[in-house]
Structure 1
């Protein structure tokens, strides 16, 4: 779980104008009004679970530092998008209530209070728990005053050669207006006095983001016993070099978070890329929504910042130094294997393993024999999805490749495979979602590179984001054309595939291929209007399809037949789906929900949800797959895909779920849920009032099973057994 795992491709939407009315079923008893948990507070509860991992002394200390950095990065994005959206609703006077029927102003007040509490707890976790644990492991974070004179002299030389030349002190006086403070930048506020005139002045020094946040005191020290000083501390103790002849009166660290959401009016522009580029430029100058300051800042400096940045007292967060603990990502990468999780090398899926060592597998032959269910990062992305597309690009019998790209890495072999295919004369279609939040600029770059190589690049449908994870290969074989398809729950990103838990299906099923052919044609041409055979596609049919499955479970329960619903998602907010699950619970259907992040459903409430259990699992990998399983009177209907149960996914995105048909795959999914919901598995349990309780040890204090470690072991053993059979 890393920085990318913040709101990842589940970036929290700022679209608050959700007017979807919960589905009303004729004859069904009316559900209570206060049946949803607030989505913003639920998201903060998710980030609290991340913080609890950082506080856990049983975890390797550099992983704990990483979780502190993840918490900080997550919260930054939460403010930039969700809090910014709440403020916008208040400023513009939008009367639309939140998902719990409360005014945005009331929710913002609760969010601010909870955020203050969590940020203070976060700082305390660093100061009192993780920093001492790092020191015990030989990684010491020191201050300037703790250094010996010769060490200060060495750092003074380092400062002069590596840091001083890139610093840009900006004065504030009648000739110099208050400077623009970029979002998420770390800054030093400096008050100086002119020794000749006695006049006091203010200046701002930006801490360069391209330099290491933690500076080695002595590069000659061993990695097992190394000391670091923060970059801002080093700069603060050389302010005299920046302001020669001036008396330094005060200096403090501060940081501003801005509204960095992007809104594109697609109907009003002919060129989406140009409109988006213009909006990205505007994003940099969004209004401030949070001011973080060190707890030693004087009132004069604070008053100046509050006035110039136009923030309220509620938006000021006073914390002990250092600010921006996202900088701990740097320390978390220190090469100390014993302070990290044990190394895990993904295995190759047994069905895709080469027949002999040092030979490449024939992906097409393997998939033609049987559907292949992939589980990353336990199983390798490189030897499955990436190999599938690279082989397709090189295969002379492949005529066409069609692919969606939502987020990919900067040096993506997936993109390179598409370019190779186009340059080889194949028909290649890439549907690039350039509106993927915070990856817009990167996606624009990739789109232009693909176009130059001859790839047909399209940007999806007006008003909708294309979030589905699809790849289709058309291959000439004896007897005609054959479709090879991949439908996944995660992005085509080799980097995040090593830390995001995701599922994917590789299949040569003709029906799936025809479904994808129609879907790609509609995405590159006309609006989605048709139904599909093995797919459920949003925005028109996915919610309806899932509600139909829920209704079937209700009917089976009422008739005394086997029933059950199991759902795994990142977030569940959609009222119609939640109400369907409440009604299923009231009918006696066992409902199990495995959610990573936001959950607006209230489980375990008598007369509403006593048959619903909700669990959350966080750990080494970011739980990212979406699964929907319905018992269906003994004929299970199991879907995997890209959609969370949120308004944006069901109403404003193109999403796709595919139904699994192989009994072994269905059993595999069932086994995942069995373990996740087992009381012997470490997890968080949600109560009806919105409280998440961590259960990581048994009554005797022994640690409970770690689901991800167990999955890792099981899949590795399965691969080994398969290799021996060959």
Structure 2
């Protein structure tokens, strides 16, 4: 990361925690994370199609960055906000520095793309232009286009009788210039939306070959049917990104569902925050588009060399070329769940189970838990939070089954889960139609907690079972994100969860008491700060203070200050932070006892673990909350202690593997830049995620051996 991007101090920050130079910028450190992701696309140790995947991920991430972060900064700028962030920047300064950083990432992407295309060609996969095809192939593609794409296209002219059309968010568009003779009527320019998505691939396969042509290229070279008898002067591509932040005020709403539906409509017409155009587009056309969309041509318009909308390159990961991908990963079944006839008996008799996704199967653990709950005649009620779930969701299916089987079912659906609002509105309606009690969380707060709560009439009375996790109840992301879950029937936690769901369904905080659970926004932040301070006191009294956090982001300034104070007192602080991190490690007098690493691998790191040495009486916590102000103060979150020794050992293994990673770990420097580790002699050359895959497979083999030994003993006795 550049000196500008980090605002690094020329002198050590010392002990003055009010100095803005102690803190890095949230937006810029998130962009730095995308630099690390892009490095995986550049790294020739990464299989080729995985490199393509990482390039697509960065492109998709930048789309979201403009929609959420740039959109938000532009709103602040438009409102005249001059308040500085904790790192001392105004919205205008942040906007300009972010734009510069985005440009630097874009230049790297533009240099990398032709290299990857060349490597694909060497591997027998061609990404071609329509004009490069043989005439017979062009004719076949034209026939396919006329049958499958042509009926979907709607050319829209632009002239005084046809005003500039609405351009939908993230759509890919052709701008066609018509060479009109003097005195002729008709538009001089036509816009055509490229219909990518909804079952239409971006890259069109040429016959049965491994040759692919971008869909927009096929359309552009067959405009004669769409615009008959017109002389096409030229065509260019453009794409717009719109602001995703269009929230309305809940306090004035009688129906949150209607408000969310209105927000979705608002977002469709939200202001444009970015325009991407073909690098060859004439300046006059570029300027016209910028003016029509209300954008600053110097700040908001980006020339794209080569392929536009590179997020669509993810399609190539579907090719049947295993030699060009990471080895196939098959999640194992949790060893304790293998052959267990009843999951509730297992949890009650064998203690809590720690689940590690995607190393362990989501379907045979979390989905099984809910499936059995929906069918078990002894289960009386199921309560659950739902933030995101899969399009074809077993979770929804089992909740509806439970209701149809006569169980009480209550679900807190978070309608404001960014970019999943429409899906969650649909799920909420489906659940209500099945007779399920659906609530939309608490006024003014997002419900980000990950909890399934089951009440069962056991042989000895009513017992409460629960799953508490770090990730969403989404079967797709459960194979792509690293997450943890806890299956438990701890009666104290069960009592706490009763209070939590009463809060979620009524919105009434009162003086609810929680003995183990650390919920936000009422308890979590205060508890984290108190536990950090306890490590400081133990250190000052001759102990060995030690704090370890694994989280997606470390943004909350109060938590950062507390960790700085801990370092100043001599407490050892290890932080595994995926992306945004305000804390600067290794600064003399401030953070020399802090190290920060970031893991970038085949799975998206999504696990949250909080560890405190506590004078030897070690404490481990997992949960849904990152160390961000929004998570700690503006969301309903759950962080749960993990007391079981076996579960604690598993968490220690995860932390140690990641902290000792020599392949996919990056060390943060005092100025906010990152240096990737490289394996030395004797180091394990595998990244942490590959090591965790191997450890999971080892557990599965050990379970298999025990089963075989048990069968052998039974046969011997027989």
From 249, 258, 267, the counterpart of 1:283: 267
Q: Distance in 1 between matches of 2:500 and 2:469?
A: 15
The aligned residue for residue 558 of structure 1 is 540
From 52, 55, 60, the counterpart of 1:65: 52
Matched, 1:375 2:356: yes
Equivalent residues of 2:609, 2:623 under 8 A apart: yes
Any idea what the Cα deviations from partners look like across 1:138-158, whole Å, max 9, x if unmatched?
A: 111011221112221222222
The aligned residue for residue 75 of structure 1 is 62
Q: Distance in 1 between matches of 2:278 and 2:575?
A: 41
The aligned residue for residue 217 of structure 1 is 206
Matched, 1:230 2:230: no
Q: Distance in 1 between matches of 2:156 and 2:306?
A: 22
Q: Secondary structure at the match of 1:314?
A: coil
From 462, 474, 484, the counterpart of 2:465: 484
Equivalent residues of 1:466, 1:654 under 8 A apart: yes
Displacement after TM superposition at 1:321 (Å): 2.0
Q: Secondary structure at the match of 1:34?
A: helix
From 21, 24, 36, the counterpart of 1:37: 24
The aligned residue for residue 204 of structure 1 is 191
From 297, 312, 321, the counterpart of 1:327: 312
Equivalent residues of 1:549, 1:630 under 8 A apart: yes
Matched, 1:673 2:673: no
Matched, 1:640 2:627: no
Any idea what the Cα deviations from partners look like across 1:240-285, whole Å, max 9, x if unmatched?
A: 3322222111211111111122313111010110111011101001
Q: Distance in 2 between matches of 1:152 and 1:197?
A: 35
Alignment of 1:307-456 (within 5 A): 307-312=291-296, 313-354=298-339, 361-369=341-349, 370-456=351-437
Displacement after TM superposition at 1:30 (Å): 5.0
Displacement after TM superposition at 1:68 (Å): 1.1
Displacement after TM superposition at 1:699 (Å): 7.3
Displacement after TM superposition at 1:363 (Å): 0.6
Displacement after TM superposition at 1:417 (Å): 0.8
The aligned residue for residue 259 of structure 1 is 243
Q: Distance in 2 between matches of 1:532 and 1:685?
A: 37
Q: Distance in 2 between matches of 1:159 and 1:452?
A: 41
The aligned residue for residue 658 of structure 1 is 640
Equivalent residues of 1:503, 1:640 under 8 A apart: yes
Any idea what the Cα deviations from partners look like across 1:280-326, whole Å, max 9, x if unmatched?
A: 10100111110111111111211211111111121011111210001
Equivalent residues of 2:662, 2:684 under 8 A apart: no
Equivalent residues of 1:194, 1:245 under 8 A apart: no
Q: Distance in 2 between matches of 1:156 and 1:385?
A: 48
Unaligned runs of 5+ in 1: 1-27, 356-360
Q: Secondary structure at the match of 2:561?
A: helix
Displacement after TM superposition at 1:718 (Å): 1.1
Q: Distance in 2 between matches of 1:581 and 1:254?
A: 46
Q: Secondary structure at the match of 1:347?
A: coil
The aligned residue for residue 618 of structure 1 is 600
Q: How many residues align?
A: 687
From 149, 162, 187, the counterpart of 1:176: 162
Displacement after TM superposition at 1:165 (Å): 1.5
Equivalent residues of 1:464, 1:652 under 8 A apart: yes
Displacement after TM superposition at 1:196 (Å): 6.5
Any idea what the Cα deviations from partners look like across 1:93-121, whole Å, max 9, x if unmatched?
A: 12222231211001100101111111121
The aligned residue for residue 469 of structure 1 is 450
The aligned residue for residue 3 of structure 2 is none
Matched, 1:687 2:663: no
Matched, 1:166 2:152: yes
Q: Secondary structure at the match of 1:329?
A: helix
Any idea what the Cα deviations from partners look like across 1:528-552, whole Å, max 9, x if unmatched?
A: 3423111111102101100111011
Q: Distance in 2 between matches of 1:696 and 1:259?
A: 40
Q: Distance in 2 between matches of 1:522 and 1:64?
A: 46
Stretch deviating more after TM superposition (431-440 or 300-309) = 300-309
The aligned residue for residue 13 of structure 1 is none
Q: Secondary structure at the match of 1:602?
A: coil
From 118, 134, 138, the counterpart of 1:148: 134
From 573, 576, 591, the counterpart of 2:573: 591
Stretch deviating more after TM superposition (188-197 or 686-695) = 188-197
TM-score (norm 1): 0.93
Equivalent residues of 1:675, 1:681 under 8 A apart: no
The aligned residue for residue 303 of structure 1 is 287
Matched, 1:544 2:544: no
Equivalent residues of 1:50, 1:67 under 8 A apart: yes
From 517, 536, 540, the counterpart of 1:535: 517
Stretch deviating more after TM superposition (234-243 or 80-89) = 234-243
The aligned residue for residue 86 of structure 2 is 99
Taking a change above 3 Å as real, the CA distance of residues 271 and 598 of structure 1, as seen in their structure-2 partners, is same
Equivalent residues of 1:405, 1:433 under 8 A apart: yes
Q: Secondary structure at the match of 1:134?
A: helix
Q: Distance in 2 between matches of 1:275 and 1:408?
A: 21
Q: Distance in 2 between matches of 1:705 and 1:333?
A: 25
Stretch deviating more after TM superposition (196-205 or 276-285) = 196-205
The aligned residue for residue 5 of structure 1 is none
Q: Distance in 2 between matches of 1:687 and 1:31?
A: 21
Equivalent residues of 2:661, 2:687 under 8 A apart: no
Alignment of 1:99-138 (within 5 A): 99-128=86-115, 130-138=116-124
- Kindly report the root-mean-square deviation, in angstroms, between the aligned alpha carbons of the 2 structures: 1.5
Q: Distance in 1 between matches of 2:183 and 2:150?
A: 27
Equivalent residues of 2:662, 2:677 under 8 A apart: no
Q: Distance in 2 between matches of 1:30 and 1:86?
A: 25
Q: Distance in 2 between matches of 1:132 and 1:721?
A: 45
Displacement after TM superposition at 1:704 (Å): 3.1
Q: Secondary structure at the match of 2:173?
A: strand
Q: Distance in 1 between matches of 2:674 and 2:578?
A: 12
Q: Distance in 2 between matches of 1:243 and 1:450?
A: 47
Any idea what the Cα deviations from partners look like across 1:490-532, whole Å, max 9, x if unmatched?
A: 0111111111110000011111111101111111113334231
Any idea what the Cα deviations from partners look like across 1:334-361, whole Å, max 9, x if unmatched?
A: 1212212111111111111115xxxxx3
Taking a change above 3 Å as real, the CA distance of residues 526 and 310 of structure 1, as seen in their structure-2 partners, is closer
Q: Secondary structure at the match of 1:241?
A: coil
Equivalent residues of 1:195, 1:245 under 8 A apart: no
Unaligned runs of 5+ in 2: 1-14, 708-718
Q: Secondary structure at the match of 2:636?
A: strand
